[in-house]
Amino acid sequence: MIDYAAPVEDYRFLLRQVLNFDSAMADLGKDVDTDLAGAVLEEAGKLCSKTLGPINRNGDEQGSRLVDGEVRTPSGFADAYREFVDGGWAALSADSQWGGQGLPFILQLWLDEMMSATNLSFGLFPGLTRGAAEAIAAHASEELKATYLPSMVSGEWTGAMALTESGAGTDLALLKTRAVPNGDGAYAVSGQKIFISSGDHDLCGNIIHLVLARLPNAPDGIKGISLFLVPKFLPDDAGGFTVRNTMSVGALEQKMGIHAQPTCVMNYDEATGWLVGEPHRGLAAMFTMMNAERLMVGIQGLGIAGAAYQQATGYARERLQGRSADGARGPVAIIEHADVRRMLLNIRAFVEAGRALAGWTALQLDRAHSHPDAQARAEANALVALLTPVVKAAFTDFGFESAVQAQQVFGGHGYIREWGMEQYVRDARIAQIYEGTNGVQAIDLVGRKLAMAGGAVAESFFNLVEADLAQAAQIEAASVVSRRTSKALELLREATVGLRGGSIDAQGAVAVDYLRLFALVSLGWMWARMAAAPGDTPFHAAKKQVADYFAMRVLPQVDGLASSIAAGEETVMAISADTF
């Protein structure tokens, strides 16, 4: 396999010419500019290429194993994690109050892209820690924060989210794990959780589980769920963490991919934990974690797509098969063949616009956290809420489709393990499922996010896109993609109006198609902004060429999506459940 080339040139271009990073940071009073950000991303890229990439294949082959009840990660993972922590990468975007570097979230998200590109299983360890730390920072008592956050932020300890049970996945109302007060402020947590990523491992000294459970006499349903902090090692009297909590790994899930990542069945047997946030309000705390994780999961699709693109492009340059189109030369590199280019361009048309859209969304998150003006913070927060299901679902769908297409470029060699392409496909698949399946994301978008502020949030986003497209359409290089995306935006607006006030079934039956339409418009918007960026380098020329490809060969699918959405739920609900 080719070494991963971190897309630092692309990041710098986006920061400087597309996302106006320097002025955005100035607005937030942050002392970070494109030069510093570029330097950080370059170092991050080296870590990913040199440390995380080389252990990815063995991580898949060897997998995490359960030995005497404890998880052993594959060779090299513990050393790589040490290097990751020592370099300060775990603390990159965390609040300085807890020892974080306080760098903008956009750097974090792009670091996530590069980690996902080189080692998805590895990236989940710090990724889940960050989500857990955010929930603790937002909802836990000062004492819990002071006790747990510094070590989680530094990466000395990791976090895990223990939500799912065998009978309660998407529907957390059904969960059965119980928490009983011990009388000393702590609780005894008992139950079994499944699909717990990073539930146990040998990378560091402690693992902080956030566990959803019910208090005695809690109301039924989701209004009776509370969140508990349950560490693998409890505090001892000497200020250390040496007391083993009564929780254990029941089994490791045998999975399609991400073999290096220990996905645990966890048993909590009167394990000691502390309430995070209010009783019965665990879901709110959980959503703090989930929202952060959902953006990261979207980026996993992007990362794998970018890595698969690099491998497929490298292979297509080297592999000689067939003759040139004029029949004069042969064998030629398969990158000369139109159908191979089509596959590569499909991937690239997603990856580069996805990277831009992820960056834009991350900057909104930075605004939401740090803008001095409350109104600006609220607006940015609403935009992030709107875009989160789109990024999570569309990026992981496109990411999986990209991995499959990159594998296809290799022909038979793509199907055998040796070339690593099939691992991308197996690993990418999980991102469409976890942190809320992509169907759940689509229903979140259509059922909840479109309804925010009576529809005003979506409307303001569409207005923003429309204004940008109108501006970009004035620039010749961006005119094709701008005009065509404007037409697609009209379809999206119509579909949005059509869905307003629809029944649960009417929304559910078309939500996935609607989300894809929304995502294609958003990618077209980013292609317009990128193509409009001034410059006459080959780099700029390529942006314009791929923007045209996107407009002419990818975007047309919006017509079919709009028709399918307009057809609504009738044919979906007509058939009786027995007849399936």
Q: Which of 36, 416, 470, 497 binds its own copies (CB under 8 A)?
A: 416
Tell the burial category of 525 from Cβ atoms under 10 Å away from its Cβ (0-12, 13-18, 19+): buried
Region near its own copies per CB under 8 A, out of 77-85, 118-126, 209-217, 425-433: 425-433
Site string for its own copies, 483-522 (x = CB under 8 A): --------------------xxxxxxx-xx----------
| Nearer to its own copies among residue 94 and residue 390 (C-beta) | 390
Please tell me whether residue 333 binds its own copies under the rule CB under 8 A: yes
Question: Hey, which residues between 427 and 456 contact its own copies (CB under 8 A)?
Answer: 429-430, 432-434, 437-439, 442-443
Helix (H/G/I), strand (E/B), else coil: 43: helix
* Token reading at 229: 């902090």
Shortest spacing between CB 484 and its own copies, in angstroms: 10
Site string for its own copies, 127-166 (x = CB under 8 A): -------------------------------------x--
Tell the burial category of 88 from Cβ atoms under 10 Å away from its Cβ (0-12, 13-18, 19+): middle
Phi/psi for 271 (5° steps) reads: -70, 145
Question: Hey, which residues between 100 and 129 contact its own copies (CB under 8 A)?
Answer: none
Q: Which of 338, 372, 375, 537 binds its own copies (CB under 8 A)?
A: 338
Please tell me whether residue 250 binds its own copies under the rule CB under 8 A: no
Among residues 363, 287, 362, the alpha carbon closest in space to that of 131 is found at 287
Question: Hey, which residues between 274 and 313 contact its own copies (CB under 8 A)?
Answer: 313
* Per-residue three-class SS string for 176-198: CCEEEECCCCCEEEEEEEEEEEC
- Catalytic residue, chosen from 336, 401, 422, 435, is 435
Residues making up the chain, counted from first to last:
580
Rg (the chain; Cα; Å)? 24
The answer to whether the beta carbons of residues 5 and 49 sit under 8 Å apart is yes
| Nearer to its own copies among residue 243 and residue 320 (C-beta) | 320
Chain position carrying tokens 């609403």: 382
Give exposure, 260-278, as e/b (b: 16+ Cβ within 10 Å): bbbbbbbbbebbbbbbbbe
| Nearer to its own copies among residue 237 and residue 339 (C-beta) | 339
Question: Hey, which residues between 192 and 231 contact its own copies (CB under 8 A)?
Answer: 194-195
Q: Which of 331, 454, 501, 535 binds its own copies (CB under 8 A)?
A: 331
Please tell me whether residue 4 binds its own copies under the rule CB under 8 A: no
Is position 435 annotated as part of the catalytic site? yes
Q: Which of 219, 411, 454, 501 binds its own copies (CB under 8 A)?
A: 411
Shortest spacing between CB 461 and its own copies, in angstroms: 23
Tell the burial category of 62 from Cβ atoms under 10 Å away from its Cβ (0-12, 13-18, 19+): middle
Active site residues: 435
